[in-house]
Amino acid sequence: MALIFFFLYFPIGVLVVFSFNASRINATWQGFTLDWYRQLFHDFAIWAATSNSLIVGVASAAISTVIGTMAAFALHRYSFRGKAAFESLLQLPIVIPEIVMGGSLLAFFVLIEMPLGLHTVTIAHVAFNISFVTVVVRARLYAFDFTLEEAAMDLGANRWQTFFKVTLPLIAPGVAAGFLIALTLSLDDFIIAFFTAGPGANTLPMQVYSMMRFGVTPKVNALSTLMLAVVILIGVVGQFIFRGRKETPVPEEEIHPVPRGFEVYAKAGSDRARVPVGAVGARSSPDAQHLQLG
C-alpha cells in the first residue's frame, strides 16, 4: 500500500519541489527560490485566465444548479410518460467522451454563427453540469422525508410557503453540493473549453496546457503547486465542515458496554449491536443468545 502511495505522490512531490528550484532545467537542485512564483504573480495572462475560469465556473454552476434541481424534483416526485427516456438523456453527458461533446458544440456554434467566447464555454459547461447536479440533488431528495411537506401543508401552508420554508432549507445541503460539484467540474474542465472558447477567452486549464506544451520554465511547476495547494485546502476544510455537521458517531461500546467475551457479537454490525447487550450478559446459554440476536 505504501508503494502505491509513493507512486501517487512522487510525481506531485517532484513538481512541488522543483517549483522552488532555482534551475531552469529542473533536473538538479540549484538553490531555493521564489522567483517562479513571483513571475507567476506578474503574469497577466494567468490572472486573466483565472478570472475567466471563475466567471465561467460560477455562472455555469449557478445556472446548472437551478436547472438541475428543478429536474431532480420532477424526476423524484412525478412519474410521467417519457420519464425513462429523459433519465437516459440525462445520463448521456456523463458517459459521452468529452472530446465528442466539444467537437459537436464547436460545429454547432459555428453553424449558427455564434461567435466563440466565454459565453460559449459557459453554455457548454452548463450542458454537461446539469446531469451531475441532477444526480447529486436527486440522491439528496431520496433521503428527504416528504411527510414533512404534508405536515406543513396540514398546518396551513400553501405550496409556495411549504417549498421555501420547509423543503428548500432541508435539501439545501444537497443543492449546495450540486453547486460545488458543478463549479469544480467547470474549473477543472479542459477539453470542452479548449474546443468552445474563442480567442482571448482562455480558461485556466487552457492556459496551463499551452504553458506545458510550449513553455519550458518552472513557472508551470509553481502554478501547479498553487493549484494543488488550493485543492488540498478545500479538501481539508471540507472534511472539517462535514465532520462538524454530522454528529460524531458515538462508538457503540460507550452506549452499551459489552461484557468481556461477547465483543464478537457486538462487532457484527451496528443494527445487531442495538440488541440490549446488557441482557445478553445475563444469559449464559448459547441458544438464548442466538435467539436474542436473531
Partner 1 sequence: MATSQTLARQGALNVSDVQRPRSVGAHLLLLPAYLWLGIFFLLPLVIIVYYSLTVRTPLGGSEAVFTLEHYARLWDPLYARIFWRSLWLAVATTVITILMAYPFAYALARTPQRWKNLLLLLSVIPFWTNFLVRTYAWMVILRSNGLVNTALMSLGLIEQPLPLLFTPGSVLLGLVYGFLPFMILPIYAAIDRLEPSLLEAAADLGARPWQTFWRVTLPLTAPGIAAGVLLVFVPALGMFIIPDLMGGAKVTLIGNLIQNQFLSARNWQFGSAASVVLMALVVLGLRLYKRFFRLEGVF
- Phi, psi torsion values for 228, nearest 5 degrees: -60, -45
Q: Which is nearer to partner 1, 38 or 267 (CB)?
A: 267
Told to check if 58 binds partner 1 by CB under 8 A, we report no
Binding residues for partner 1, rule CB under 8 A, total: 85
Told to check if 237 binds partner 1 by CB under 8 A, we report no
* 267 Cβ contact list (under 8 Å, min separation 6): 273
**In DSSP terms, which residues pair with 21 in a beta bridge?**
32
Give the residue from 132, 43, 134 showing the smallest Cα distance to 93: 132
CB of 281 to partner 1, least distance (A): 20
- Which of 224, 258, 277, 280: binder of partner 1 (CB under 8 A)? 224
CA angle 267, 273, 279 (to 5 degrees): 115
SS3 of the chain: helix, strand, coil, percent, to 5: 75, 0, 25
Choices 44-52, 79-87, 168-176, 255-263 (CB under 8 A): range interacting with partner 1: 79-87
| Interface positions, 89-118, toward partner 1 (CB under 8 A) | 89-90, 92-93, 95-108, 111
Told to check if 168 binds partner 1 by CB under 8 A, we report no
Told to check if 190 binds partner 1 by CB under 8 A, we report yes
Tell me the CA distances in angstroms from 150 to 71, 138, 143, one per residue in order.
Answer: 21, 19, 16
Told to check if 61 binds partner 1 by CB under 8 A, we report no
Choices 31-39, 42-50, 230-238, 279-287 (CB under 8 A): range interacting with partner 1: 230-238
Q: Which is nearer to partner 1, 51 or 270 (CB)?
A: 270
CB of 101 to partner 1, least distance (A): 7
Give the residue from 206, 51, 53, 45 showing the smallest Cα distance to 122: 53
CB of 173 to partner 1, least distance (A): 20
The alpha-helical segments, DSSP class H, found in 166-269 are: 168-188, 191-196, 204-214, 219-245, 252-255, 263-267
| Interface positions, 120-139, toward partner 1 (CB under 8 A) | 123-124, 126-128, 130, 134
